Amino acid sequence: MKRFISLALCLILCLSLVCVFTGCGGKKKSGEGSMAVEVKKTLDEAKKAVEDKGCTPVVVTVYEKDFKDGSVLSIGKFLDGAKKGDYVTICVNDLSIKDTVEAMPVAPRILPKKSFEDKILANAGSNEAKLKVNYTLAGEFYVLDPGASDKDIEGIAEAITGTGYKASDMLSDYIAAGVVPTATEAMKADVITADNATLTEVDGAYVVSNYTGTARNIVVPAEIDSKPVKTVGAGLTLNPITALTVEDGITEIESGAVAKAYGLMDVDIPDSVIEIGKNAFINLLFTEADGDYTMFADKIALAYNGSDTDITIPENVKYLAPEIFKDKKALTSVKFSEGLISIGASAFSGCEALANVTFPESLKYIGDSAFYQARAFTEIKLSKNVVEIGADAFHDCSNVSNLVLNDGLKKIGNKAFVYCLYSEQKELNATLTIPASVEYLGNEAFMNANIVDVKGGEGLTFVGYRPFEETDWFINFASDEEFGIFNGFLLKYNVPDEFEGTVVLPDGVKGISGAFKDLAKVKAVKINNGCVSISDNEFLTNSALTEITIPASVTFIGESALDIAKASSITVHCEAGSVAETYAKEKLFKTDNNI
């Protein structure tokens, strides 16, 4: 579809050029369209050329590749002396749009005059950005042709036989046909509310998605109906928006939040945002070159285009996009400038030679697999401002012998430090101190680490499946006690593997975190009132289990907690309306409310 539109535009423009230079074999009739094409070396010259002719200006930039790829701008091949960075002016008069405008289902993009001039025109011709768009000025806004771009808008009807929107068309014609609102209406901000979007409550805060309005300028507030908004969700909007404001207090922008970001230029992201998902803004067109980096919104480093082995992240960078340095195996040293807030998922994954890493005080978030298999560096020292370490963040960083987690950290993701603090000879004998601020400790977070002692962890509210699996500390933990409880979480149940009876958990257990692994003959488990969580895989190997009592205090049950061979024979004793009852019915277990 994109090639069809681009070729159609190219054909029409090229035919018009031929008519200009050859006369097309006949005299021009009154009212027929006319076109004049010139090459200018500066934007000012280009503007003056079309203004002097008294016609609607169309100014496009010629790039080197435009002579090769058959795109709209291949009109340059007809012009002697056109070079990369030149401006081609096209002056078009008397072309009617009346036969095509009503068939066009997608509006042209409308961008604020100042932003377009500051961010686009000021840099036109200076880089290889894929900015292949015709445009025309309409009051305080520019109207851009979606059909003339390599990233033309999805959904343009196949039925269109003309050039679609042309920069020579008047915006008023589109407004009259009902295709686009007035420029003022198009740029008016619309605030997300419960009436125009989907609000999903997670942990007492909203995730916003599925905006149903038509505005091109969207504001995501920090609070809706007295409840905080923490996440800009996937699928926030399918509209080709041009402006997005995220209010202070929001912490995450999920992958796929803005699906049609080709017109997105004005973006306000507060420092409260610590995580931006991969492809949060899809089909970005208006990016900027800053040295070796491709930037968006002046603060997000999307790509690194250099080859240095020793790099310093620029001071203006606050967010490193996912996979930005992935598998750069020659990279040996990274210095993060103060101001960096977030390191995206897999940002340095596979950087096997990375030996020197200095984390800034400003850093708040380290994404999933951010340093996966970065095996060369030996020390991890994180400041008190780091609040979250993602799943597998330092997985297999096997040469790290010194790990410092400061107070302020709240979440350690699944397998975050697997094979970290590790040596095959087990001579490390490390002591792990979990800050009191940590609330969430993920599944197998420190598996296979050479840890002989674990301290701290008083603030834990959730502990996942066997976070210290295969460590010396865990092997010896509570070996003389029936119940191995760590800060309220049941890590071990010390009975012979052949035990066939009923297990009754003692008061005070806040969560079950892998205690029932390999107890294949246990037939019944009664969970104490006050327990709040059951980890993933908890009863995965308990094939003889026929009864389990789960009180209403349990608010989290891992998706695979009861995925065992004889699930159809299990009866779940639970209270009506509880999380346990919902879980049991989804898994098709038998239930009763005798608890």
Same domain, 94 and 205: no
Same domain, 174 and 50: yes
Same domain, 118 and 40: yes
What domain range is 562 assigned to? 478-595
Query: What pLDDT shows up at residue 215?
Result: 83
Same domain, 528 and 546: yes
Query: What pLDDT shows up at residue 227?
Result: 97
CATH code for the domain of 539: 3.80.10
Same domain, 252 and 161: no
For the chain, the domain total comes to: 3
**Residues 6 or more apart in contact with residue 163 via CB below 8 angstroms:** 8, 9, 12, 100, 147
Residue 377 within any structural domain of the chain: no
DSSP string, 332-363: -EEEPPTT--EE-TTTTTT-TT--EEE--TT-
215 vs 198: CA distance, rounded Å? 16
Which DSSP symbol is given to 407? B
- Domain end, chosen from 250, 276, 302, is at 276
- Domain end, chosen from 276, 309, 325, is at 276
Residue 51 within any structural domain of the chain: yes
Q: Say yes or no to pLDDT of 422 above 90.
A: no
Same domain, 218 and 129: no
Q: Say yes or no to pLDDT of 25 above 60.
A: no
Same domain, 103 and 158: yes
Most confident of 286-300, 423-437, 570-584: 570-584
Residue 298 within any structural domain of the chain: no
Same domain, 136 and 264: no
Task: State the residue for tokens 């065992």.
Answer: 564
Count of CB atoms situated within 10 Å of the CB of 109:
29
Same domain, 118 and 246: no
Residue 314 within any structural domain of the chain: no
Same domain, 176 and 117: yes
Condensed to tens digits (0 to 9), the pLDDT of residues 551-560 reads 999 999 999 9
Query: What pLDDT shows up at residue 569?
Result: 80
297 vs 501: CA distance, rounded Å? 62
Query: What pLDDT shows up at residue 349?
Result: 97
Mean pLDDT of 469-495: 94
Q: Say yes or no to pLDDT of 366 above 70.
A: yes
Condensed to tens digits (0 to 9), the pLDDT of residues 337-359 reads 999 999 999 999 999 999 989 89
- Picking from 283, 225, 227, the residue whose alpha carbon sits closest to that of residue 250 is 227
Strands (E), 280-429: 288-290, 293-296, 300-304, 310-312, 319-320, 333-335, 342-343, 356-358, 365-366, 379-382, 388-389, 402-405, 411-412
Residue 463 within any structural domain of the chain: no
- Domain end, chosen from 276, 301, 329, is at 276
Condensed to tens digits (0 to 9), the pLDDT of residues 128-179 reads 333 334 455 555 555 554 433 333 322 222 222 223 344 344 444 444 444 4
Q: Say yes or no to pLDDT of 43 above 70.
A: no
Query: What pLDDT shows up at residue 283?
Result: 76
Same domain, 102 and 226: no
Condensed to tens digits (0 to 9), the pLDDT of residues 304-336 reads 989 999 999 999 999 999 999 999 999 999 999
340 vs 486: CA distance, rounded Å? 35
Mean pLDDT of 487-496: 94
Same domain, 99 and 210: no
